[in-house]
């Protein structure tokens, strides 16, 4: 979907339909050696190389985060159900293919960033703006550390843990 598209959808849901809770479910690429294929990543916060927050805040480096209540419920459900899940910071990028990604991956991973996606930073920023709760749950579909990736069939049949968490915490 990407940052511009989620910006439109999430803004309209909150502004025109009074939506107060948004949970994004999707896939991500692992950039940390301890995060593996099919792990569920519960995104605590999101860094970005997008210009969206720079445009909003100027020289302020706004650090958007998940709603703690949703995050806490998701984490404890994953524990109770013995799912392989990790709460971590993620990196939201505008670029799917980035010539500078290897340097970014090495730097971000050294700071504990677990995975890369294309929506979380904007979702969390907009939720903060609109006084809504937001959470991103992702299943690792690709390891950008090892080069492993899930097959098309695995993507269709084995990503149910994040969906179960999302449905249960709502």
Tokens of 103: 């340097």
Query: pLDDT tens for residues 80-98?
Result: 999 999 999 999 998 888 8
Residue 142 appears among annotated catalytic residues: yes
The number of domains in the chain is 1
What pairs with residue 47 in β-bridges? 91
Express each pLDDT in 139-164 by its tens digit: 999 999 999 999 999 988 889 999 99
Measured at the CA of 108, the angle between CA 104 and CA 114, to 5 degrees, comes to 120
Q: Which of 72, 98, 99, 142 is catalytic?
A: 142
CATH number of the domain residue 132 falls in:
3.40.50.1580
Threshold 0.85, pTM exceeds: yes
């Amino acid at each position: 979907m990407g940052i511009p598209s989620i910006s439109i959808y999430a803004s309209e849901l909150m502004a025109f339909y009074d939506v107060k809770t948004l949970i994004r479910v999707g896939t991500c690429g692992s950039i940390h050696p301890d995060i593996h294929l099919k792990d569920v990543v519960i995104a605590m916060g999101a860094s970005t190389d997008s210009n969206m927050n720079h445009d909003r805040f100027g020289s302020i480096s706004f650090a958007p985060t998940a709603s703690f209540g949703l995050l806490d419920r998701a984490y404890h459900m994953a524990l109770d159900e013995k799912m392989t899940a990790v709460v971590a910071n993620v990196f939201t990028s505008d670029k799917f293919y980035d010539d500078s990604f290897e340097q970014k991956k090495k730097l971000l991973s050294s700071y504990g960033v677990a995975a890369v996606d294309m929506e979380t930073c904007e979702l969390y920023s907009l939720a903060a703006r609109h006084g809504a709760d937001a959470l991103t749950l992702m299943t690792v579909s690709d390891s950008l550390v090892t080069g492993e990736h899930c097959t098309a069939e695995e993507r269709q049949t084995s990503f149910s843990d994040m969906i179960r968490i999302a449905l249960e915490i709502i």
